[in-house]
Amino acid sequence: MKKLIIGAMLMIFPFSLFGCGTEKELVPTTQEISAGDVSAIEISPSSNIAEGEELMCLVETEAEAKEIAKQYGITLVKCEYGVATFHTEEGLTDVIERGKKEGYKELSINYTMSLY
pLDDT tens readout for residues 54-91 = 999 999 999 999 999 999 999 999 999 999 999 999 99
pLDDT of residue 56: 95
* CATH number of the domain enclosing 83: 3.30.70
Is residue 24 a part of any domain in this protein?
no
pLDDT of residue 98 exceeding 90:
yes
Nearest to 67 by CA among 46, 92, 86, 45: 86
pLDDT of residue 101 exceeding 50:
yes
Q: What is the chain's length? A: 116
Is residue 94 a part of any domain in this protein?
yes
pTM over 0.85: no
Is residue 83 a part of any domain in this protein?
yes
- What is the tens place of the pLDDT at every residue in 19-30? 555 554 544 444
Domain limits for position 60: 47-116
Q: How many whole angstroms separate alpha carbon 46 and alpha carbon 84? A: 24
